[in-house]
Structure 1
């Protein structure tokens, strides 16, 4: 499996991976994605600004991704929000760690000094990964999401860089 910075030619396959993980209804904030417009897709903004966005590739197919999006408020632009997803078929094989290494190494180049995230408390493997990479608990959002009769809490985590 290769880890590479997102490329414009990968946007459609990245989107397909996002849709597949969203459909699981367990890991991402959205369970279905808005209509796809390749010209306005997130990777275009990430590439244009050289913000961290990497893909895990299995024989050229996107099987996972990570992004760190800087806060749009100028006084908070030193903070970035991390997003991560892996197809079920590729979890537990080290791709998450390799994606984290790439994105966290890239983040300071964008002026980021802090990375933040929210993860469902039920996602123990992701929490374990974030702890492994030096993230600490910053708080909790209780009753964060309700879906199909289930309530999810979100653990807020942060890591200071450098």
Structure 2
């Protein structure tokens, strides 16, 4: 593993991001999808985030994306002070501080664009991620019982949020 570098998402990074997203999704444990969307749909997602001035960062090991974090601002005016955080780290890069670096970088960018609140949902059995979110200041705000069903197994979802300041 070389030195990991965090950069703002660029269109040239989408293919490698797609591979990382697909790898984490296919673990069937952490994300709200079980496989990455088609590449063109992911390109549109990245372009929409960039067009909306939403923070989106990726972590590289050499030329390979090994993690990502983005915050998407709500589009309705009365909710535009809020954003939703999404992130992932591929297996083999977890537990070494990369997730914290990505979240802190992305949160700082979200405060700069004027967000006041950032929210996320975490699978209740993803205790490592929940500890990470709490370590940067996210608080638990509620539980959606049996909110996710993967391979016939129900999992609760923990709603978490952090406020600026």
Provide the aligned length of Structure 1 versus Structure 2: 162
Question: Which residue does the alignment assign to 1:30?
Answer: 33
Spell out, residue by residue over 1:40-61, the C-alpha distance to the aligned partner (whole angstroms, 9 max, x if none): 4321122223311001110121
For residue 149 of structure 1, report the CA deviation from its aligned partner: 2.0
Residue 43 of structure 2 corresponds to residue 49 of structure 1: no
Matches within 5 A, 1:12-161: 12-37=15-40, 40-161=43-164
Given the superposition, is the C-alpha separation of residues 121 and 39 from structure 1 closer, same or farther in structure 2, using an over 3 Å criterion? closer
Unaligned runs of 5+ in 2: none
Unaligned runs of 5+ in 1: none
For residue 35 of structure 1, report the CA deviation from its aligned partner: 2.3
TM-score for the superposition, normalised by structure 1 = 0.95
Find the aligned partners of 1:38 and 1:80 in 2 and give their Cα distance.
21
Spell out, residue by residue over 1:82-130, the C-alpha distance to the aligned partner (whole angstroms, 9 max, x if none): 0010000111111101101110100022221000000000000100000
For residue 74 of structure 1, report the CA deviation from its aligned partner: 1.2
Q: Secondary structure at the match of 2:46?
A: helix
RMSD between superposed Cα atoms in Å: 1.3
Q: Secondary structure at the match of 2:125?
A: coil
Given the superposition, is the C-alpha separation of residues 147 and 74 from structure 1 closer, same or farther in structure 2, using an over 3 Å criterion? same
